[in-house]
Structure 1
Amino acid sequence: SVFRSALDYGCFLYSSAALTTLRRLDVLQAAAVRVCSVAFRSTPVAALLVNVGEMPLKFRRVKLGLQYLLRVRGMGDASPASGLLGQQWEFGGRGRFGEGGFSARLWDRADALGFLGWPVCSCLVWSDVTPWHLPVPEVDLTFWGDAVMVGWLVLFRI
């Protein structure tokens, strides 16, 4: 889980890296999965990933990028990250390899999958009442008197 989180952190940003660099990460993922699943070195990577329920990094980068795009789009203008998804000026808007920056790639992928026509629900919920004006709930904890602690388990007498 530590290795996977390191691979996932910002993976849609470095998805425009050179293919040799991305292949190195695929090799590292395969090595980590082999260690975790105690598989032989001769086991094909595709079969290994299916056995442990992992997604290839190529598809995982796309999935996490689209999740990020939809989450930021759901926040609207309230998120400072919404400025990242606009038109980028570096490399004349074409990107390093002529395919655009990370936001252009995310928008193109979302358009190809048909996500752009969908309405996105806001993930930010704003209340009309400030939290300090809400009434304090009354919680009845009298049943704790009949409880018996056994390690981390709480048993109640009925």
Structure 2
Amino acid sequence: MDSRLTFKIHIQKLIDKCKKSNNILRCVTGMEWGASRKSLLRIYSALIRSAIDYGCIIYGSASKSLIKKVEIVQAQSLRICSGAFRSSPVSAIQVEVGEMPISLRKFKLTMNYWINVKGHSELHPVKDIFKDCWEYGKNEIKSFGWTATRDATILGITEISVSHSVVMQNIPSWMLPMPQVDFHLQYIVKNEKTISKEFVVQQYLNQNYSSMLHFFTDGSKDPVSGNSSAAVYIQRLQDKIQKRITNFVSVFTTGLIAILLAIQWVEEVQPTRVVICTDSLSALNSLLSEQSTSRKDLIYEVLINQNINSILILPISLFM
């Protein structure tokens, strides 16, 4: 960073790095030989776009002339990847290869980072730059702290509740009991083509878990309206639990909430042994690994509740 925060030195180093990467693209391409467009775009994403993205939220406040130099380098890269003529418009090339202009990509990354910061506690140091300042409105500065909240307001996402980015639990993760997961049913159903899937699932449960209480969970989301819900069906009792949840959540989230509803019912009724059947493979893998890119709060809640409830056996079967 230079003393006046013009980012001239940084952008020049970025351009030099991208030009070297462009030479790599030229070495592996040709009119009648060389790598395919798909491979060239992968190289572009790994070597050039990643370098442009790094820190673009910060150096995006540089002058238009400096940003223009970065756009020229990107255009050269896309022209090599697509094999377009030098006279081809840059916008047409971007549409052809499915690549955003730098300004739009910076806007997307800025909003992603803004939402991520909103999910942190109030002690997060970046939140200080969102606070009111007497200089706001006096100067037109394009820095992240000055423009991010304004852009988020234009998008209409300032009032949306954001889940915590970092979930801290009172119980260490290594002390949480792991659920017993049975994946055999998945392979049996896939290999069985003569008998209906419903019959195979029921037969498997009767043979292996006949003494247990069977729960069937599912989550759904309307792709048009965004309406989401979760449900649990208790087969032996012919009882069901339904819950309307927040709109526009992921299908992964609806599956976890459905499992959590079943565990909460077990906590209240206290049956001896239960088996929960779900069709969310991603939810099962996340529960086993305790790792996920989203909704770690729900994953920890499922694991903690099964510990508090002293559920001795919780095999979760997958059926498709």
Is the structural similarity TM-score above 0.5? yes
Structure 1 residues 57-66 or 76-85, which shifts more? 76-85
- Answering whether residue 162 of structure 2 is matched by residue 117 of structure 1, we say no
CA–CA distance in structure 1, aligned partners of residues 175 and 70 of structure 2: 51
More helix by share: 1
- Answering whether residue 98 of structure 2 is matched by residue 53 of structure 1, we say yes
State the Cα distance separating 1:138 from its structure 2 match. Answer: 7.9
Aligned-partner residue type, residue 50 of structure 1: V
TM-score when normalising by structure 2 = 0.38
Aligned-partner residue type, residue 25 of structure 1: V
Aligned twin of 1:149 = none
Secondary structure at the aligned position of 1:111 is classed as helix
CA contact (8 A) 1:74 1:121 kept: yes
Structure with the greater relative contact order (CA < 8 A, sep ≥ 6): 1 or 2?
1
CA–CA distance in structure 1, aligned partners of residues 106 and 137 of structure 2: 18
CA–CA distance in structure 1, aligned partners of residues 77 and 124 of structure 2: 35
- Answering whether residue 77 of structure 2 is matched by residue 29 of structure 1, we say no
Task: Pick one of 126, 148, 154 that aligns with 1:81.
Answer: 126
**Over aligned residue pairs, what C-alpha RMSD do you find?**
2.7
More strand by share: 2
State the Cα distance separating 1:46 from its structure 2 match. Answer: 0.4
Structure 2 stretches lacking a partner, 5+ long: 1-45, 182-320
TM-score when normalising by structure 1 = 0.73
Aligned twin of 2:173 = 131
CA–CA distance in structure 2, aligned partners of residues 22 and 96 of structure 1: 24
CA contact (8 A) 2:119 2:162 kept: yes
State the Cα distance separating 1:69 from its structure 2 match. Answer: 0.4
Describe the shift of the 1:8–1:87 C-alpha distance in structure 2 as closer, same or farther (beyond 3 A): farther
Describe the shift of the 1:3–1:97 C-alpha distance in structure 2 as closer, same or farther (beyond 3 A): farther
- Calculate percent identity across the aligned residue pairs: 35
State the Cα distance separating 1:95 from its structure 2 match. Answer: 8.8
State the Cα distance separating 1:134 from its structure 2 match. Answer: 2.7
Aligned twin of 1:142 = none
CA contact (8 A) 2:117 2:127 kept: yes
| 1:94-147, Cα deviation, whole Å (9 max, x unpaired) | 5995236321111111112211111112122222311332346789xxxxxxxx
CA–CA distance in structure 2, aligned partners of residues 36 and 101 of structure 1: 32
CA–CA distance in structure 2, aligned partners of residues 24 and 97 of structure 1: 25
CA–CA distance in structure 1, aligned partners of residues 80 and 124 of structure 2: 40
CA contact (8 A) 1:26 1:57 kept: yes
Describe the shift of the 1:130–1:78 C-alpha distance in structure 2 as closer, same or farther (beyond 3 A): farther
Aligned twin of 1:13 = 58
CA–CA distance in structure 2, aligned partners of residues 135 and 115 of structure 1: 37
Describe the shift of the 1:100–1:49 C-alpha distance in structure 2 as closer, same or farther (beyond 3 A): closer
Aligned length: 137
Structure 1 stretches lacking a partner, 5+ long: 140-158
The structure having more radius of gyration, on CA atoms, is: 2
